Chain A
Amino acid sequence: MIRYAYYPGCVAQESGKELDNATRFVAKKLNIDLIPMPEASCCGGGALDGFDKNLKLFINGRTLALAEKMGVDILTICNTCTLTLSEVNEELINNSESLDKTNEYLSKIGLRYSGKVKIKHLLYVVRDEIGFDALKKMVVKNLNGINIAPFYGCHILRPSTVVKFDDVESPTGFEELIMALGGEPVSYANRTKCCGFQTILVDRAQSSYLSGSAILEAKGKKADVMVTPCPLCHLSLDMYQSAAGKSVNEKLSMPVMHLPQLIGIALGANFAEMGFSRHNVSLKPLSERIGI
């Protein structure tokens, strides 16, 4: 059994609870032991850094130290958590001044970090630890004939000096996963672009244009569904889809799945187990077509 410290991030424990549930379902099927981290805090995304650089180091250094104490690496299911924890990890490993001042804080709460922890997103845990060939053998519901548009988003790919999972210019991990599940990966330029979530409350027009363009392109390429490895992208693409549609003058109704939900249905989960009723854009028609 593979063991990981499980860092679901905030959204998966709040509005995106279905993502957490789907992840647990998939982990069980794949024999991945997800050890809870009840003490771990929010990573602060890109925002905490803009509030105070050292606060970002301390807060996330604490999370890394907790995992190090548990003796395991961290498994993430959110792009932004993945990047933020990885950025802090790189900084602490490569900058002794940062490590020293973080450890000074950590020593006051009985922790210490030495740089041993790795941060891995579920997508690449499946690729590297389970293997797509092994995954293929576990599929009970083949996604044959379903056009699936992978939406990587940003922080699982960039900056590639920090998150080093895939080829930043032409990533393949997501497409390979879709093919292992029997689906048809849809090729479209926006797959590695921004969903606009960062400015969804700050500049809605900008944000919606980004999500709208991505959904529109996927639709034009005949996608039946978009899938994302990030709950923030999911909010932008699913929850705010009507605003996205308006911004590109198109009525959109593109179902959007979380990555573990896609793996989940292929491994035999039903509609309720994947929490599909919680999505804004209905997954009913697609689920019926797949037969779940």
Chain B
Amino acid sequence: MEFKVRSYRFNPEVDTQAYYKEYAIQDFPGMTVLNALMKIKYELDGTLSFRRSCRSAICGSCAMKINGITKLACKTQVKPEIMKFGIVNVEPLANMPVVRDLIVDQEGFFDTIKAIKPYLLTEGENEELSGFKTLKEGEKIKQPVYSREQFKNLTGNNDTPNCILCECCYSECNGVSGNKKYLGPAALAKLYRYSEDPRDNDRDVSRLLNGSKPDGMWDCVHCQACEEFCPKGISPVKAIVRLHEKTIKNSITSTPGAKHVVSIAQSIKKTGKLDEAKVALGTAGIAGVIRDLPVVISAALKGKMPPLKLEPIKNMDDVKLAYKELGLEEK
């Protein structure tokens, strides 16, 4: 079958603006989008630029937008794309500046990874176990012993250690689209992974405080795109929500994001419902309500103001019991 690849092209040395170029090529059974791009590069147009290395969905180099969705080119077969979209449209990753054609500048992404300290914090801890020294005659190496159970939150087939840093989630993340400084799914999932590592010596919850800063974990918009489009089956958003839970359980609740969550939980505990007025006040405070006065007035004029006092749902005690059973009455 002959099919068309339509590629985004941009070379800052000669082009004033980006354009698309089409290539007609012949497929072969099992052909991947990366195979197609390599065929174009070797046989039709040597100037087409893209990253790749392993060709087996391990190195994470070949991520790009394929028919509008970020995927690994080496893991994406041509045939289903053609059947669904009639063409293979390739574009560089979103949320990152383009260097040339399908190659993006990854610096901003790796800055987010560096920002969460992607290594075990051990400094100054237990000299005997972590310091360097020469063993004496007959002395055995002392190593800490961990149980499998202690790692249960950071292992498993669909978990964060499987991340190959391909940036698919970062490219699809709506939170990053809205705020380029947001840490994003890959970094935050990694932050959660380190916060759960029993070997990590983070005694003063510095990781959770770090993640609670503006542009951190509370900027997740819950769009679920990171989970949907991760080529390794990881769910960064689930890790971020666990990070939220852990942060609140550690009483780091002074941020608007944490206040929002706590207000909703309190509202349900009281009436079984989400009290829109109280949650807005609890999250943004009086200052927030004043800032939004035009919206509040407009809503009031349209009869859209939520009731100031909500009637509880029927059998409200049943809901209260859930809080009690989980020891959350006082939270």
- Whether A201 lies near B268 (C-beta < 8 A) is no
- Whether B68 lies near A109 (C-beta < 8 A) is no
A50-B244, A154-B223, A278-B302 known; A206 vs B182 contact (CB < 8 Å) = yes
With beta carbons under 8 angstroms apart, the residue of B175, B182, B265, B284 that contacts A51 is B265
How would residues 50 to 71 of chain A score, 1 for a CB under 8 Å from any chain B CB and 0 otherwise?
1111110011001000000000
Indicate if B3 sits at the interface (CB-CB under 8 A): no
Given the complex of chains A and B, what is the CA–CA distance between A62 and B320 in angstroms? Answer: 12
Q: List, in ascending order, chain A residues with CB within 8 A of B326's CB.
A: 52, 54-55, 58
Indicate if B227 sits at the interface (CB-CB under 8 A): yes
With beta carbons under 8 angstroms apart, the residue of A55, A189, A203, A280 that contacts B323 is A55
- Whether A14 lies near B177 (C-beta < 8 A) is no
How would residues 189 to 203 of chain A score, 1 for a CB under 8 Å from any chain B CB and 0 otherwise?
100011011110111
Listed residue (B182, B295, B318) with the most chain A CB atoms within 10 angstroms of its CB: B318
- Whether B273 lies near A41 (C-beta < 8 A) is yes
- Whether B264 lies near A160 (C-beta < 8 A) is no
With beta carbons under 8 angstroms apart, the residue of A40, A108, A168, A206 that contacts B221 is A206
How would residues 252 to 290 of chain A score, 1 for a CB under 8 Å from any chain B CB and 0 otherwise?
000000000000000000000000011110000000000
- Whether A58 lies near B322 (C-beta < 8 A) is yes
- Whether A50 lies near B179 (C-beta < 8 A) is no
- Whether B248 lies near A206 (C-beta < 8 A) is no
Q: How far is the CB of B71 from chain A (nearest CB, A)?
A: 10
In chain A between 176 and 217, which residues have their CB closer than 8 angstroms to a CB of chain B?
Answer: 189, 193-194, 196-199, 201-203, 205-207, 209-210, 213
- Whether B304 lies near A210 (C-beta < 8 A) is no
Given the complex of chains A and B, what is the CA–CA distance between A16 and B268 in angstroms? Answer: 18
Indicate if B120 sits at the interface (CB-CB under 8 A): no
- Whether A59 lies near B268 (C-beta < 8 A) is yes
How would residues 220 to 235 of chain B score, 1 for a CB under 8 Å from any chain A CB and 0 otherwise?
1111110110000001
Size of the B side of the interface (Cβ < 8 Å), in residues, is 69
- Whether A277 lies near B302 (C-beta < 8 A) is yes
Q: How far is the CB of B139 from chain A (nearest CB, A)?
A: 44
Size of the A side of the interface (Cβ < 8 Å), in residues, is 62
Indicate if A155 sits at the interface (CB-CB under 8 A): yes
A193-B223, A198-B220 known; A14 vs B179 contact (CB < 8 Å) = no
With beta carbons under 8 angstroms apart, the residue of A47, A55, A169, A196 that contacts B84 is A169
Spot the interface stretch: B8-16, B28-36, B197-205, B305-313.
B305-313
A38-B313, A48-B264, A202-B256 known; A210 vs B319 contact (CB < 8 Å) = no
- Whether A53 lies near B245 (C-beta < 8 A) is yes
Q: How far is the CB of B229 from chain A (nearest CB, A)?
A: 9
- Whether B328 lies near A55 (C-beta < 8 A) is yes
- Whether B244 lies near A39 (C-beta < 8 A) is no
Q: List, in ascending order, chain B residues with CB within 8 A of A279's CB.
A: 302
- Whether B228 lies near A160 (C-beta < 8 A) is yes
Q: List, in ascending order, chain A residues with CB within 8 A of B286's CB.
A: none
Given the complex of chains A and B, what is the CA–CA distance between A279 and B214 in angstroms? Answer: 32
A170-B84, A202-B260 known; A159 vs B219 contact (CB < 8 Å) = no
Closest A residue by C-beta to B296: A239
- Whether B68 lies near A189 (C-beta < 8 A) is yes
In chain B between 245 and 267, which residues have their CB closer than 8 angstroms to a CB of chain A?
Answer: 245, 248, 256-257, 260-262, 264-265, 267
Q: List, in ascending order, chain A residues with CB within 8 A of B219's CB.
A: 199, 202-203, 206
Indicate if A115 sits at the interface (CB-CB under 8 A): no
Indicate if A240 sits at the interface (CB-CB under 8 A): yes
- Whether A50 lies near B248 (C-beta < 8 A) is yes
Q: How far is the CB of A174 from chain B (nearest CB, A)?
A: 17
Q: List, in ascending order, chain B residues with CB within 8 A of A207's CB.
A: 178, 221
- Whether B265 lies near A52 (C-beta < 8 A) is yes
Closest A residue by C-beta to B325: A105
Q: List, in ascending order, chain A residues with CB within 8 A of B223's CB.
A: 154, 158, 193-194
Indicate if B59 sits at the interface (CB-CB under 8 A): no
Q: List, in ascending order, chain A residues with CB within 8 A of B224's CB.
A: 83, 154-155, 158-159
Given the complex of chains A and B, what is the CA–CA distance between A189 and B304 in angstroms? Answer: 30
- Whether A201 lies near B177 (C-beta < 8 A) is no
- Whether A55 lies near B228 (C-beta < 8 A) is no
- Whether A44 lies near B228 (C-beta < 8 A) is no
Q: How far is the CB of B305 from chain A (nearest CB, A)?
A: 7
Q: How far is the CB of A272 from chain B (nearest CB, A)?
A: 12
- Whether B178 lies near A196 (C-beta < 8 A) is yes
Closest A residue by C-beta to B272: A41
How would residues 169 to 186 of chain B score, 1 for a CB under 8 Å from any chain A CB and 0 otherwise?
000001101110010000
Closest A residue by C-beta to B182: A206
Indicate if B298 sits at the interface (CB-CB under 8 A): yes
With beta carbons under 8 angstroms apart, the residue of A59, A168, A201 that contacts B319 is A59
Indicate if A173 sits at the interface (CB-CB under 8 A): no
Q: List, in ascending order, chain B residues with CB within 8 A of A41's CB.
A: 268, 272-273, 313, 319
8 residue pairs A–B, Cβ–Cβ below 8 Å: A14-B274, A14-B276, A15-B276, A52-B326, A53-B242, A55-B326, A201-B283, A202-B260
Closest 7 CB pairs of A and B: A50-B244, A194-B174, A206-B178, A158-B224, A206-B179, A10-B274, A194-B223
- The interface of chain A, by Cβ under 8 A from chain B, is 10-11, 13-16, 38-42, 44-55, 58-59, 62, 83, 105, 108-109, 154-155, 158-160, 168-170, 189, 193-194, 196-199, 201-203, 205-207, 209-210, 213, 239-240, 242-243, 277-280
